[in-house]
Amino acid sequence: MPITTAYEAKIEHLQILDETGKLDARLARGTLTDKDVVYLYEHMSTCRHYDEVAFKLQRSGRMGTYPQNIGQEAAAAGSGFAMRKQDYIVPCYRENAALFHHGLPMEKILLHWMGDERGNEIPEGVHVLPISIPIGTHMLHAAGIAWAFKLRKEDRVAITYFGDGATSEGDFHEAMNFATTLKLPCIFFCQNNSWAISVPREKQMASKTVVQKALAYEAHGIRVDGNDIFACYKATKDAIARAKKGQPTLIEAVTYRLGDHTTADDARRYRDQAELDAWKKKDPLLRVRIYLENKKLWNDKKQTALEARAKEFVTQVVKNAEGIEAPTTDDIFDHTFATLPEQLLVQKRTLRTNGLGQFPEQETLRA
């Protein structure tokens, strides 16, 4: 006989701070303090200045292709602020605000886009993976890390970030199935900026939302205003609590990239200016500044001082990245394995490859 299953699909949507800077005090209770909001505003502002400088570095030929984070800072900052020091962040490439808050030195991202392998060398004690350029492959890594946490009985959670286009990849579904079947402490955070590079959401998926995909896997799903640091923080903090009990969460943060997909893209060819102008009014930094000013926690004098500090700080970050000693061929080998396999040790020493089993120096290395 046929099996009939009835679903009552209800999509939870969360917004606490709207685009006019108005806060829902009831929903905000127990989330961010005034001190937290000031810190996050300063942090996001510094990250935006960093973003602008990185764009100029690329345009002046001092760096390779770069994907701007502008417009999506609140999604990364709010969620990243909720993550604990011991938790692991598995990023895509628009999560600078989360990575920097979690301890990754800012010059690491610049070095990555400069083509320097040392940009992907994560300092000891900083629990993040290098940024991922392939669309969606890293979600499986997050599920694997979360599985290790569960097997070791560690109080740790893994969060992975990706765009809406990544949810059309098989890797997303495999990772979701893996995490929910094994009840892993894993959070899936989708930054839905409406564009999978130059393809609009409605042309690369039939589902009206990303979060409804959680239903197929019995994951908890919530859709949030991705330009609202309060909502992104609360959704992630609640997801951590569920993850510790073995229930993964899919968070869909509805946001928008105000820049091009990367510096190799020209979004004017496929996006309407009216759409861009409408989203500029929802700028996450703008709404937080209005909120702080309304509470008498911010003013023009503080803004001027912040911009000066951000400029000085980012200038030093650029100097650190560009002033690093020249890379050596050792960097090709040294940052993948904790202990280099013998065959790679030979390649590192000789700077040549050999056929399988033909490593004349092996016996010497063993000795």
DSSP at 25: H
Residue of 101, 261, 287, 289 marked catalytic:
261
Residue 59 annotated among the catalytic residues of the structure: no
Residue of 13, 59, 268, 270 marked catalytic:
270
SS (H, E, C) 44-69: HHHHHHHHHHHHHHHHCCCCCCCCCC
Other CB atoms within 10 Å distance of the CB of residue 208: 10
Residue 270 annotated among the catalytic residues of the structure: yes
DSSP at 163: E
The secondary element (H helix, E strand) that includes residue 252 is strand 249-254
| 3-state SS, residue 200 | strand
Residue 127 annotated among the catalytic residues of the structure: no
Residue of 127, 201, 257, 287 marked catalytic:
257
Two tokens, residue 46: 């510094």
d(CA 298, CA 294): 8
d(CA 77, CA 275): 24
> Nearest Cα to 144, choosing from 124, 118, 171?
171
Active site residues: 257, 261, 270
